Amino acid sequence: MPNIESAIKRARTSKIANESNSAKLSKMRTAMKKFEKAVEENADNQQELLVAATREIDMVSAKGLIHQNKANREKSRLAKKIAK
C-alpha cells in the first residue's frame, strides 16, 4: 500500500482507468462477436453490425488501447467476411 499522497492518488486513478479500458475492450470484442455470429447465421442485419463493430474498433484505437495497425487489420478481416 502506498504511503505518499501522490502514489495513493495514482493507484486510485490507475484502477479507475483500468476498469474503463477493460470495459471498452470488452465492448469492442462483443461487437465483433455479434457480427461474426450474424455472418454465420446469414442474418439480415450484417451491414449494421459491421458498422457498429467498426465504430467500436475505431473508438478503442483512438483511445490508444489497441494499435492502429491492429484496428485496421481487424476491420479488414470483418469486411472480408461480409464480402464472401
Q: pLDDT tens string for the chain (84 positions)?
A: 889 999 999 999 999 999 999 999 999 999 999 999 999 999 999 999 999 999 999 999 999 999 999 999 999 999 999 987
Three-state DSSP class for 72?
helix
Q: Which domain holds residue 57?
A: 27-83
Residue 75: inside a domain, yes or no?
yes
Count of all residues that appear for the chain in the document: 84
* CATH number for position 69: 1.20.58.110
User: pTM score, two decimals?
Assistant: 0.88
Q: How many domains does the chain have?
A: 1
Distant-in-sequence, close-in-space partners of 46: CB < 8 Å, separation ≥ 6:
35, 38, 39, 82
